[in-house]
């Protein structure tokens, strides 16, 4: 079944694996990018290779001119109704690198949603003017709904989910995997590793999406460290159990610090508190990394963070060669160029240019 062959109610009620099958294109690359479960190992290998080719091509003016010619006939809408720095700016830069012209709404008070227009009508409006919609929203499942709606309209333009509610951040997971792969590529690769997630795991969509994506790699143990009220939710652990992946949930970061290969810190996401100040009542003092904690880590461990951070990583850790979060952020731009290029079927042209010129 394809997404155009089901009602919204039917699509919404499918199992994730069935939704993924409904969204698949023949070559395995996504048209709409909605969930991290859409990315299989073949696609991940291809998109990471493409991101590396693009970052290499972009080093020269000739290469940059080539990239900017690829999609100069396209326009993209950046619809970010939730705050963002990195995701918004890296997608904007990615569009610029590919020659795509952009429009944006970053605050619904400035769009006709303020006058009561529905999400459906707003997105249909964007699809009338643009060839791609990149959207970040507060609401879980909205990108999915809008993708279904556009697929069943006269203007089925692709949607990229740039973060939806507490649930999914698939493009962050792509850049996180790319960062892990690059970090370990000269050290045996991303297999037989342990990744420790720390912080607000119950409301961290980046953790949920990356945990799913790690299922594509061999023997990756996942460790979830959080105070009990912020611990990872059962659906993620069920997904790990279904694949036979080893995991541990704990409130003791210090127990695992010396053993893990990658530490993925997250901030406390108090914007989701049911009542203002709820998070402040939770003791998070032992979920922070400073110079002393880095001393306890493996000499070749890496430290990641999707950012923004608050005080969970001390600023003086930034100079530690194991701190990857600034590189991770820049990797996001190259990965988003690769994803947009792949969405518009430019991968083969980029690969050919790379082989001929680099
Ligand atoms: N990592 C991330 O999504 O950052 P922004 O909220 O700044 O986009």
Question: Exposed, middle or buried by CB within 10 Å (0-12, 13-18, 19+), for 232?
Answer: buried
Q: Is residue 350 left, alpha or beta, with left meaning phi > 0 and alpha meaning psi from -120 to 50? A: alpha
Instruction: Provide the percentage of residues in the chain whose pLDDT is more than 70.
Output: 100
Average pLDDT over residues 305-329: 98
C-alpha 194/C-alpha 222 separation (Å) is 6
Q: Which of 33, 52, 87, 284 is catalytic?
A: 87
Q: How far is the CA of 299 from the centre of ligand 1 (A)?
A: 28
Please report where in the chains the tokens 């970052």 appear, as a residue: 55
The answer, yes or no, to whether residue 27 has pLDDT greater than 90, is no
Please report where in the chains the tokens 């791609």 appear, as a residue: 132
Contact (CB, 8 A) for 152 and 7:
no
The pLDDT of residue 28: 83
- For this structure, is 101 an active site residue? no
Is the overall model pTM greater than 0.95, yes or no?
yes
Pocket test for ligand 1, best of 92, 306, 333 (most atoms within 8 A of CB): 306
Q: How far is the CA of 313 from the centre of ligand 1 (A)?
A: 16
- For this structure, is 140 an active site residue? no
Rounded to the nearest 10 degrees, the angle between the axes of helix 170-184 and helix 41-57 is 70
Instruction: Provide the percentage of residues in the chain whose pLDDT is more than 90.
Output: 97
Give the CB-side neighbour count of residue 339, counting CA atoms within 13 A.
33
Q: What are 113-169's pLDDT values in tens digits?
A: 999 999 999 999 999 999 999 999 999 999 999 999 999 999 999 999 999 999 999
Nearest to 193 by CA among 296, 301, 288: 301
The answer, yes or no, to whether residue 264 has pLDDT greater than 90, is yes
86 lines ligand 1 (CB under 6 A): yes
Q: How far is the CA of 163 from the centre of ligand 1 (A)?
A: 8
pLDDT grade for 243, boundaries at 50, 70 and 90: very high
- For this structure, is 86 an active site residue? yes
Taking every pair of C-alpha atoms in the chain, what is the biggest distance, in angstroms? 59
């Amino acid at each position: 079944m394809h997404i155009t062959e089901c009602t919204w109610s039917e699509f919404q009620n499918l199992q994730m694996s069935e939704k993924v099958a409904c969204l698949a294109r023949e070559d395995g690359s996504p048209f709409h990018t909605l969930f991290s479960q859409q990315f299989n190992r073949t696609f991940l290998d291809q998109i990471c290779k493409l991101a590396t080719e693009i970052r290499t091509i972009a080093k020269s003016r000739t290469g940059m001119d080539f990239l900017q010619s690829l999609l100069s006939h396209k326009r993209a809408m950046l619809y970010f109704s939730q705050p963002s720095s990195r995701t918004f700016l890296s997608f904007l830069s990615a569009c610029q690198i590919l020659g795509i012209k952009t429009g944006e709404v970053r605050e619904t008070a400035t769009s006709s949603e303020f006058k009561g227009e529905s999400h459906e009508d707003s997105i249909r409006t964007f699809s009338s003017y643009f060839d791609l919609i990149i959207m970040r929203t507060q609401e879980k499942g909205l990108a999915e709904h809008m993708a279904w709606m556009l697929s069943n309209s006269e203007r089925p333009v692709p949607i990229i989910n740039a973060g939806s509610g507490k649930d999914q951040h698939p493009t962050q997971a792509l850049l996180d995997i790319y960062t892990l792969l690059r970090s370990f590529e000269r050290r045996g690769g991303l297999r037989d590793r342990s990744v420790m997630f720390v912080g607000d795991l119950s409301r961290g969509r980046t953790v949920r999406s990356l945990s799913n994506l790690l299922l594509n790699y061999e023997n990756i143990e996942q460790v979830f460290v959080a105070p009990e009220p912020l611990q990872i939710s059962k659906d993620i652990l069920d997904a790990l159990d279904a694949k036979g992946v080893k995991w541990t949930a704990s409130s003791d970061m210090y127990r695992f610090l010396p053993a893990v290969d990658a530490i993925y810190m997250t901030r406390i996401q108090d914007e989701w508190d049911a009542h203002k100040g709820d998070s402040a009542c939770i003791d998070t003092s032992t979920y922070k990394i400073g110079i002393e904690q880095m001393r306890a880590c493996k000499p070749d461990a890496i430290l990641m963070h999707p950012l923004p951070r608050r005080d969970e990583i001390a600023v003086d850790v930034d100079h530690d060669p194991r701190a990857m979060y600034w590189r991770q952020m820049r990797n996001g731009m190259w990965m988003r160029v690769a994803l947009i290029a792949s969405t518009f079927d430019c991968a083969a042209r980029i690969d050919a240019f790379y082989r001929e010129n680099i």
